[in-house]
A and B are shown apart, each in its own frame.
Chain A
Amino acid sequence: MNSIAQTLQHLLGDTLGWALWKLLLVVAIVVPLTIFVAYVTFAERKILGYMHARLGANRVGPKGLLQPFADLLKFVFKELLTPTKTSTGVFYIAPLIILACALLVWAVIPFNATTVFANVNASLLFVVAISSLGIYGIILAGWSGNSKYSFLGGVRATAQMISYELAMGFALVGVLMVSGSLNLGEIVKAQSSGMLGGSILSWNWIPLFPFFLVYVISGVAETNRAPFDVCEGESEIVAGFFVEYSGTSFALFMLAEYVNMITISAMASLMFLGGWLSPFPKSWGFVGNESFVWLLLKVCILLFGFIWYRATFPRYRYDQIMRLGWKVFLPITLIWIFVLGAWMVSPLSIWK
């Protein structure tokens, strides 16, 4: 890997070669991520299909495996419509903001103990800060659509995302307390040690179970997925904030939604499920080794959960969503932070 960087720097000079190398790394992250998104959409259609006792997409390619690309082609060849009297610049920038924020987070997400694009000190804070910027895309899309439906959808989405961000932030505070670092790699490393070190029992999800639960449920609300998808509640406001979008700009919204789902799953697996650590003890040899495959497996399990909730739960009423965020999750996390603090300084602490 480093030899490629050195060759590039040798050929193009230090700065330019370095920039080109980083650009190549970005492509190496974004392209597999996009293909993963394509197959998450396909998996969603198939899983939902089987849960509804039907077959799902099975026409394009063997077993329907080329379906996501057929969808993409259809999006690309559709006409881009612009509503009248809209603020055109904002209208076209909004989906780009959402997608850029969704992808930017992946700059600091580690794939295993050594592979990470940018190993910054405060990577957890970076993820939270950047994903909070994604709201702008939604609110601007809702506003610039120049339609009552899309505006209502945008307003709903924003209020919901701001509310659940708080509960999510407090859940992260718990993780920070036990790992003592804002760096995602360090957080995973902290889970491999401790009193119960080295296996599934030492991961954060057992001592921090309330935070894990709050994080995953808030994650569903944060990505505006069912059962919290009131901002695109099609029975009330057609399709929410992206009513007025068509063609590729609509596809960007879809892409961003699924990238966000993967991000939330990856964050939950890194912070609570031990990331790339193996659930088995080190002495078991091959299956006990830490590897990227474990991270991928955990992400896939959590993504399956996302799809499962969609097939299972009916949509929440809007005031109930707000109540769940402010009156249930926020007090639970606040109280558990105090409990955790007391636990950590008591002789019973398992993190010393």
Chain B
Amino acid sequence: MVTSVFFYLFATILILSALRVITAKNPVHAVLFLVLTFVTSSCLWLMLNVEFLALSLILVYVGAVMVLFLFVVMMLDIDTETIRNGFWKNFPLALLLGLVILTEMVIVLVTKPIVITGSAPPVYPSVSNGIQLGWLMYTEYSYPVELASMVLLLGLVVAVALTLRKTNKNGKYQNISQQVNTESKGRVKMVKMKPVIAKSMVVEEGDSK
């Protein structure tokens, strides 16, 4: 009984916050509702006993991706009034897209599930969720996992290559390792010399009255 109460509670929060994502006026609030959506869906996953996936969802999407997202949205300084101006111009296109997505979802829901032939991956109910997942990822599915990681690495390299502008001669860069490794020898030159006293500075004895 308690489980179903919690399920409906989380499901209600999930749907309401998902609705608020698209209806909130302030874009920062919209992002925050998206975060809430992620967290509640992670709670629902936890109720299904898939704790590894649920915690990874929080760790990766909520803890890192959405923070950067929020970061960007905050920096944009969006004026909500100017955005609303184009609302009716873009409305037909948005409606069309929404209808297409809705039809697709309805088709998926009403048709019978496709039966996947071949042997199902082995399941070991005795060990924890994370171990099962790791076991399958690095044995049965190691090839697709490696491929996906290569694609991600490619994306990373491209992003760095696009933003790194070392070729610009006018740019000012600091070489931190060089700065950290400086020694006093390179900065200060100690010179031995006798004191030099200018003639005019010398005060004759007896004159100091």
Contact = CB atoms under 8 A, between A and B. Distances in A.
Interface of A: 15, 87, 90, 120-122, 125-126, 128-130, 132-133, 135-136, 139-140, 143, 151, 155, 158, 162, 165, 182, 319-320, 323
A296 to B, nearest CB: 28
| CB-based closest 7 A-B pairs | A132-B63, A129-B58, A121-B128, A129-B59, A125-B55, A129-B55, A323-B176
A87 B29 contact: yes
A319 B176 contact: yes
B142 interface: no
A143 to B, nearest CB: 5
B18 interface: no
Contacts of B70: 136, 139
B174 interface: yes
Given A125-B52, A139-B71, A319-B176, A87 B26 contact: yes
Contacts of B108: none
Contacts of A320: 176, 180
Contacts of B129: 121-122
B59 A125 contact: yes
A106 B62 CA distance: 20
6 contacts: A122-B128, A125-B52, A128-B59, A143-B74, A162-B68, A182-B130
A323 B62 CA distance: 25
A132 B64 contact: yes
A121 B68 contact: no
Interface of B: 2, 26, 28-29, 32, 35, 51-52, 55-56, 58-59, 62-64, 67-68, 70-71, 74, 128-130, 174, 176, 180
Nearest to A131: B63
> What is the predominant secondary structure among interface residues of chain B facing chain A?
helix
Nearest to B127: A121
Contact of A132 (B58, B68, B74): B58
Nearest to A19: B2
Contacts of B176: 319-320, 323
B32 A122 contact: no
B71 A155 contact: yes
A120 B128 CA distance: 10
A126 B52 CA distance: 9
Given A128-B59, A139-B71, A143-B74, A121 B26 contact: no
Contacts of B62: 129, 132-133
A4 B174 CA distance: 64
Given A136-B67, A162-B67, A165-B63, A122 B55 contact: yes
A12 to B, nearest CB: 14
Contacts of B180: 320
Nearest to A322: B176
A139 B51 contact: no
Given A132-B58, A165-B63, 8 more contacts: A121-B128, A121-B130, A125-B56, A132-B59, A132-B62, A132-B63, A162-B68, A323-B176
B52 A122 contact: yes
A122 B59 contact: no
B130 A133 contact: no
A180 to B, nearest CB: 9
B51 A133 contact: no
Contacts of B56: 125, 129
Given A122-B51, A319-B174, A319-B176, A129 B63 contact: yes
Nearest to A125: B55
Contacts of B67: 135-136, 139, 158, 162
